[in-house]
């Protein structure tokens, strides 16, 4: 066995100590290093107070990853998931009062006869297991056979939870129908009940959980650290990826309007990009970058980037930084081009570094910090 081959085997077995790579940016050279490898299609991460991370894998596993590269066995207590197509165990977040209540929330593709639907559960995190697991929301409407579950969770300052859901691809017209949850963002209380100030409470024929509608497939959601508003992004078809600031009761257009076209090149819906009564995105991409994961940068390692919106890209395999002036996007910087990995999730770490999850069969958690 050659020394080079032996070194390659060693680094594959212990990816957390693999040599870091450097990339150029407006904030200087970036160092990208592997925190932990050995993950199968990881989808999301959430930081525990001690710096460890909860990491989900789409096949249905939740693990704890440590900053020094250790990975626990799967935690018991995760419900059975529909691990097919884009389905599986997806987002995970900690409750804002986690230090007191040890509560986490996670969403997943819930199997049913003939397909699956998006669901959200809450659980008590105990060391090495999940206790008191309870599904607090089940999507209503036609089942998905595999595509477009959406499934990002964001908790507002008032404790209420937003959950994004896709249009299941084949059921896209339902995104305009208020009688189901397809292509919607819903808002629920931590116990699964409906907040009394939801926009469709008391409206005949409308699901009271709905916050906004006309969404295609949202895989990014975050609460703005100053305004407290929900921001989300969603996949277009061929072009028309969007960043929105969803307001209660508003219609975001899909599939009537779009800044992109269908995969076969034909027009989407009306063929128009704007119509009265339908909201416009604050940012859109054509061609599509296939966005997934979203975080506002709130750390101190990159002072010039504070307040920027960070977006992962699957198809274009990069990290996008959007500079903001209030609710206006003022610039775009494309980072880590050449990484050649699908970025599924983005988080600001407690140390001020940027953490990424790469959605591959040999997936990783990456740390992005200034090169020194």
pLDDT tens for 193-228 read 999 999 999 999 999 999 999 999 999 999 999 999
Whether 138 is catalytic is no
DSSP classification of residue 174: G
Q: Which of 13-27, 104-118, 165-179 has the lowest mean pLDDT?
A: 13-27
Sign of the Cα torsion 273, 275, 281, 282 reads positive
Confidence grade of residue 12 (pLDDT, cut at 50, 70, 90): very low
Q: Which two tokens stand for residue 51?
A: 């710096």
Sign of the Cα torsion 97, 98, 103, 106 reads positive
User: Of the residues 41, 138, 148, 224, which is catalytic?
Assistant: 148
- How many Cα atoms are found within 13 Å in the side-chain-facing hemisphere of 178? 18
Q: Classify strands 53-57 and 42-47 as parallel, antiparallel or unpaired.
A: antiparallel
Q: How many residues does the chain have?
A: 372
Domain boundaries, the chain: 19-370
pLDDT tens for 155-179 read 999 999 999 999 999 999 999 999 9
pLDDT exceeds cutoff 90 at 261: yes
CA distance 183 to 232: 13
Using a cut of 0.85, tell me whether the model's pTM lies above it: yes
| Span 19-370 CATH architecture | 6 Propeller (2.120)
Sign of the Cα torsion 255, 261, 262, 265 reads positive
CA distance 316 to 279: 26
* 28 phi/psi in degrees, rounded to 5: 100, -175
Sole residue written with tokens 């297991």: 129
pLDDT tens for 233-257 read 999 999 999 999 999 999 999 999 9
pLDDT tens for 56-76 read 999 999 999 999 999 999 999
Contact (Cβ atoms closer than 8 angstroms) between residue 109 and residue 41 = no
Provide the pLDDT for residue 127. Answer: 86
């Amino acid at each position: 066995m050659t020394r080079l081959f032996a070194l390659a085997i060693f680094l594959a077995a212990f990816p957390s100590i693999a040599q870091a790579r450097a990339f150029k940016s407006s904030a200087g050279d970036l160092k990208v290093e592997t925190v932990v490898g050995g993950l199968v299609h990881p989808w999301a991460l959430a930081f525990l107070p001690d710096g460890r991370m909860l990491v989900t894998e789409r096949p249905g596993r939740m693990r704890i990853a440590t900053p020094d590269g250790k990975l626990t066995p799967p935690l018991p207590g995760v419900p059975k998931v529909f691990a097919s197509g884009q389905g599986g165990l997806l987002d995970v977040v900690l409750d804002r009062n986690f230090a007191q209540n040890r509560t986490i929330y996670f969403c997943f593709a819930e199997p049913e006869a003939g397909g699956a639907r998006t669901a959200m559960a809450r659980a008590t995190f105990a060391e090495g297991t999940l206790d008191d697991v309870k599904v607090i929301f089940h999507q209503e409407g036609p089942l998905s056979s595999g595509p477009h579950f959406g499934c990002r969770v964001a908790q507002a300052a008032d404790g209420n939870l937003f959950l994004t859901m896709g249009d299941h691809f084949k059921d896209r017209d339902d995104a305009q129908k208020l009688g189901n949850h397809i292509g919607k963002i819903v808002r629920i209380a931590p116990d699964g009940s409906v907040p009394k100030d939801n926009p469709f409470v008391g409206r005949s024929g409308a699901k009271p959980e709905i916050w906004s509608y006309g969404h295609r497939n949202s895989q990014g959601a975050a609460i703005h650290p100053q305004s407290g508003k929900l921001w989300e992004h969603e996949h277009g078809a061929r072009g028309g990826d969007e960043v929105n600031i969803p307001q209660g009761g508003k219609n975001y257009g899909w599939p009537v309007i779009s800044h992109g076209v269908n995969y076969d090149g034909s027009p989407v819906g009306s063929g128009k990009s704007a119509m009265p009564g339908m909201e416009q995105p604050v940012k859109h991409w054509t061609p599509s970058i296939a966005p997934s994961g979203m975080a506002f940068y709130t750390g101190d390692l990159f002072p010039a980037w504070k307040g920027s919106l960070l977006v992962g890209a699957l198809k274009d395999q990069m990290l996008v930084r959007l500079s903001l002036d209030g609710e206006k996007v003022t610039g775009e910087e494309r980072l880590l081009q050449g990484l050649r990995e699908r970025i599924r999730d983005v988080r600001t770490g407690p140390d001020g570094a940027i953490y990424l999850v790469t959605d591959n069969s040999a997936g990783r958690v990456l740390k992005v910090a200034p090169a020194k």
